[in-house]
């Protein structure tokens, strides 16, 4: 049993991870600031299944407020940090780069400083496949040059990886950067394509298709991602002098047109597609080489894309019935 701090605990991935950690017998301290990027009630629903759990404690605070963060964590026992919190979304980051710098880079810097001061040695950090930019080399592997991000969101995640390395080198912190690849499933953020398209198709509304439909994403079902995070945390507990970056993807890109087709099959409804130009900051493909995560801690996705879409649509119907 360990004391685990989960930032972003009320979000899509964070809430599922907390449930997993509590089920495994850990003590979980969760932090979330209910960022207004989407409605607070969505995150409150995410928390509802475990907020009263005896091994769970919740703090509502902004990680970019370093004084409040230090004060709030002063007397908390923490063995490992799973840092999932941050502003997400490629397109919104183009409109608000400063907000992403504050919520991603400044917040991560503050977490690392608190770890250093409190003697917390271990962190699993949520990075993103966006750091790979529009590289033509696929599948993406961790040794590739990622110095050409094409959105503010991507550069903030790359910057955090660099800060993490500095704190590993200077202060001996053990850190794993986990590059997530388009995680989906029940509780997925309402702004993301599968959620948004399901809602529009179910309501008979037009869906926007950016580009010709040939762009591809390495969709990863949330249970596989959560399993990868859990394995990364265990790896941190079992090893010293760790600094690693790993892809947590599915290794099977899905074309945009095939994603729409899977939602049509799961909903039993035909999509009304409106084709639009490609959007600034979007990449053509994400495609994860996952051999390193397999070798380090046995990561192995189990869920097919079609299975995951069906599960998502079932959940969507349930919450909207």
Instruction: Enumerate the active-site residues.
Output: 153
CA separation for the pair 132, 144 (Å, rounded) = 8
Beta-bridge mates of residue 175: 123, 243
CA separation for the pair 158, 5 (Å, rounded) = 22
Distant-in-sequence, close-in-space partners of 278: CB < 8 Å, separation ≥ 6 = 210, 211, 215
Q: Residue 69 has which token pair?
A: 């963060």
CA separation for the pair 21, 124 (Å, rounded) = 14
Q: How do 254-255 and 216-217 pair as beta strands?
A: antiparallel
CA separation for the pair 62, 296 (Å, rounded) = 33
Integer Rg of the chain from CA: 19
């Amino acid at each position: 049993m360990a004391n685990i701090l989960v930032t972003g605990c009320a979000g899509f991935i964070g809430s599922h991870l907390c449930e997993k950690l509590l089920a495994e017998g850990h003590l979980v301290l969760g932090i979330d600031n209910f960022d207004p990027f989407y409605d607070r009630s969505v995150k409150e629903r995410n928390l509802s299944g475990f907020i009263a759990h005896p091994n769970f404690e919740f703090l509502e605070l902004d990680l970019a407020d370093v004084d409040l963060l230090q004060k709030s964590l002063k007397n908390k026992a923490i063995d490992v940090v799973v840092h999932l919190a941050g502003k997400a979304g490629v397109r919104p980051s183009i409109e608000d780069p400063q907000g992403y710098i504050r919520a991603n880079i400044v917040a991560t810097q503050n977490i690392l400083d608190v770890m250093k001061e409190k003697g917390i040695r271990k962190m699993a950090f949520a990075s993103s496949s966006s750091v790979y930019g529009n590289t033509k080399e696929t599948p993406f592997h961790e040794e590739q040059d990622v110095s050409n991000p094409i959105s503010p969101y991507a550069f903030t995640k790359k910057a955090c990886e660099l800060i993490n390395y500095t704190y590993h080198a200077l202060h001996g912190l053990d850190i794993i950067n986990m590059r997530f690849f388009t995680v989906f499933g029940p509780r997925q953020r309402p702004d993301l394509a599968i959620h948004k398209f399901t809602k529009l198709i179910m309501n008979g509304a037009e869906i926007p298709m950016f580009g010709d439909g040939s762009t591809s994403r390495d969709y990863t079902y949330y249970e596989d991602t959560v399993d990868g995070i859990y394995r990364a945390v265990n790896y941190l507990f079992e090893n010293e002098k760790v600094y690693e970056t790993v892809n947590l993807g599915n290794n099977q890109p899905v074309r945009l047109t095939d994603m729409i087709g899977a939602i049509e099959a799961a909903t039993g409804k035909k999509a009304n597609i409106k084709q639009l130009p490609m959007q600034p900051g979007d990449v053509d493909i994400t495609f994860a080489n996952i051999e390193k995560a397999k070798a380090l801690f046995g990561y192995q996705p189990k869920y097919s894309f079609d299975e995951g879409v069906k599960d998502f649509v079932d959940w969507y119907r349930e919450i909207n019935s």
